[in-house]
Amino acid sequence: MYKALLKPLLFQLDAEQAHHFVFNNLRRSYRLPGTPALLRSLYGFEHPGLEREVFGLKFRNPVGLAAGFDKNAELTDELAALGFGFVEIGTVTPRAQPGNATPRLFRLPQDGALVNRMGFNNEGAAAAAQRLRQRRSGIIIGGNIGKNKDTPNEQAAADYVASFETLFDTVDYFVVNVSSPNTPNLRQLQEKEPLIRLLQQVQEANFAKTRPKPLLLKIAPDLTDGQLDDILTIATETKLSGLVATNTTIARDALQTPAGQLASIGAGGLSGRPLRQRATEVIRYLHQRSGGTLPIIGVGGIASAADALEKIRAGAALVQLYTGFIYEGPALVKRINQALVAAQV
């Protein structure tokens, strides 16, 4: 139904307008009697073989929604009904901010891809925490945190700690995002020394808690093998619970979309099918170099059950969808979970 009816209509709208249209209508329809049960019957798939325990958390299935879709924790109950095993909200910053100027989200249908330069648009950590306190489902929630655009890199750690403290009681794990290409100079924080200092400060706040939460780091697909080795060293030094691999890419290699169209779109992070191979390479490299000791959430270019299986066989403990969810619709979650059971992975 999605690909035959809804997708053609949604793809006639501006990409960000379509996103808000889906959000508003899913929220309204979910309130109607019987809708939650209907969504679960259509898109849910439960099986004991899907259950995973990763970094101390029990996931009902390993298919999650990546950060960037539900930035403000508005639809966690609705997304749980669509069959996801976990939802990562954000990226959340301490203070609300509008993000970059529109248009800032673009489809590349020939490539099954998106380009975004959203710029961490969100309503702030306090608003997200308030919504999470009101949710009814028990789905696992990840909190993806970043810095405000106007915060200098030298003061970035304070922003991450502030969001961490605000969200701590309402999320199950945290992801430090220093790999988005859409906040000026943010990726400089991926360099070894700044990153160690940043993660140490967040972990200091974390380990001060009675029950610390798993802390992960989201990395870019554009890192070299040497930089990935540094990430593994940093993960050990700062006692990270895992990694999220990968974020969007700034590369534009081997795309079917005409060069003129790409030029008119301009800067931004590329996600979707063109990222599949590189994201899998990064996952495999990290898994092999770490000896499988560091759990990895695999994300990037998953548009089919085969894509998800590829990530898991490369070493991902869990996977996340974003662009594939937009192109393929909610049935993709069920198809992946069914394939995982059939493959016994």
Place of tokens 């070493």: 315
Residue 226 annotated as lining a ligand binding site: no
Please report whether residue 324 resides in a domain: yes
Q: For position 321, which CATH number holds?
A: 3.20.20.70
Sheet holding 113-116, edge to edge: 105-108, 113-116, 269-272
> What's the rounded Cα separation, in Å, for the pair 19 and 184?
25
Task: Give a yes or no: residue 111 inside a domain.
Answer: no
Q: Has residue 68 been placed in a domain?
A: yes
Catalytic entry in 180, 264, 271, 304: 180
Tell me the three state secondary structure of residue 175.
strand
Q: How many CB atoms lie within 10 A of CB 33?
A: 6
Residue 257 covered by a domain: no
**Residue 302 included in any domain:** yes
- For 237-262, give the DSSP string: HTT--EEEE---BS--TT-SS-HHHH
315 is in an annotated binding site: no
pLDDT tens digits, 142-200 = 999 999 999 999 999 999 999 999 999 999 999 999 999 999 899 999 999 999 999 99
DSSP 122: B
Q: Is 68 annotated as a binding residue?
A: yes
- Is 285 annotated in a binding site? The answer is no
Check the annotation: does 117 bind a ligand. yes
- Does 327 carry a binding-site annotation? no
Q: Is 246 annotated as a binding residue?
A: yes
Residues of the chain with pLDDT under 70: none
Overall number of domains in the chain: 1
Range of the domain at 161: 1-97+122-250+278-343
**30 annotated as belonging to a binding site for a ligand:** no
Does residue 222 form part of some domain?
yes
Q: For residue 323, is it within any domain? A: yes
41 part of the active site? no
E strands, the chain, are 52-54, 57-59, 63-65, 86-92, 105-108, 113-116, 140-145, 173-177, 215-219, 242-245, 269-272, 296-299, 318-321
- Residue 104, in any domain of the structure: no
Q: Is 323 annotated as a binding residue?
A: yes
